A and B are shown apart, each in its own frame.
Chain A
Amino acid sequence: EIVMTQSPAMLSVSPGERATLSCRASQSVSSNLAWYQQKPGQAPRLLIYGASARASGIPARFSGSGSGTDFTLTISSLQSEDFAVYYCQQYHNWPPFSFGQGTRLEIK
C-alpha cells in the first residue's frame, strides 16, 4: 500500500501571499496524483489531477507540480476563499486509493 505524507500539517499565510503545500508518496506514483480542497462543512472538491492539470473551473492561481514521489501544490496569491484543508491522493497503484492526512491552510 502506498502511504501519502503531507507537510506541513498546518500552514499560516497572509492573504495575497504564496502558499506551497507538499505531498510525498512512499513509492513512485508517476504523475497519478490529485489534489482536493475541503472547506468546513463541505465536500472535497477536485483541484488538480495528473499532478499538474487543473480541474474544470479551478482558478489559475492553483498549480500543481512534481512526479514520482514528490509533489507540490502552489497557490500563487491567496484569496480569503482559499483557506481550507488540502488533501493529496494517489491513484497509480490501487486498491487502495490513498490520501494524505491533509494540510490545513490558515489565515495569518
Chain B
Amino acid sequence: EVQLVESGGGLVQTGRSLRLSCTASGFTFGDYAMSWVRQAPGKGLEWVAFIRNKTYGGTTEYAASVKGRFTISRDDSKSIAYLQMNSLKTEDTAVYYCTREDIEVVPGAVSGQYYFYYYMDVWGKGTTVTVSS
C-alpha cells in the first residue's frame, strides 16, 4: 500500500524551529518529487515547498511566504522527506501535509525541450503545527 506518514508537529513558540518528517512506503521514493502543503485552521490549502527527485536534479521550490525560512530536503536511502521550519510565525500554524508528486513530461516545440507537469497524487494524513506567541 502506498503511504505517507508525517511526524514532528507540535506546539512551538514564535521564532523557534521545528523539523517535520514524511516517511514513505509502498513505492520507490527516489522516483518521485515531493511537496509539503499546509492548511491553516478553517482555511483552504496552501502549497509550501517542493523537491524534485535526483533524476531531475533534486532542486527545490518554495512559496513566497516561507522562502528563506523553510527548507525541504530528502533522504532517498531512508524514504523520508523533511521540512525544516525556522523563524516560525503564528501564521505558520496549520496542518502540514506531505504529498507525492506524479509527473507528466511533455515535449516542447523545440527539439530537446521538455515541460514538466507535477500533480499531487498521494497525500499523508498530516501533522499539526501550532505556533504560539
Contacts and interface: CB of A to CB of B under 8 A. Distances in A.
A49 B121 contact: yes
Nearest to B67: A95
A62 interface: no
B126 A99 contact: no
A96 B45 contact: no
Contacts, number: 63
Interface stretch (A11-19, A63-71, A72-80, A84-92): A84-92
B123 A45 contact: yes
Contact of A98 (B35, B47, B117): B47
A102 B44 CA distance: 7
A77 to B, nearest CB: 25
A7 to B, nearest CB: 14
B47 A97 contact: yes
Contacts of B75: none
Q: Which secondary structure dominates where chain A touches chain B?
A: loop
B44 A95 contact: no
Contacts of B119: 32, 34, 46, 49-50, 89, 91
Contacts of A49: 102, 119, 121
Given A43-B97, A101-B44, A95 B124 contact: no
B31 interface: no
Contacts of A97: 35, 47, 50, 118, 120
A14 to B, nearest CB: 26
A44 B120 CA distance: 10
Interface string A19-35: 00000000000001010
Contacts of B97: 43-44
B64 interface: yes
Contacts of B124: 43
Interface of A: 32, 34, 36, 42-46, 49-50, 55, 87, 89, 91-92, 94-102
19 contacts: A32-B119, A43-B97, A44-B120, A44-B123, A49-B102, A89-B45, A91-B117, A91-B118, A91-B119, A95-B50, A95-B62, A96-B47, A96-B64, A97-B47, A97-B50, A97-B118, A99-B44, A99-B45, A99-B47
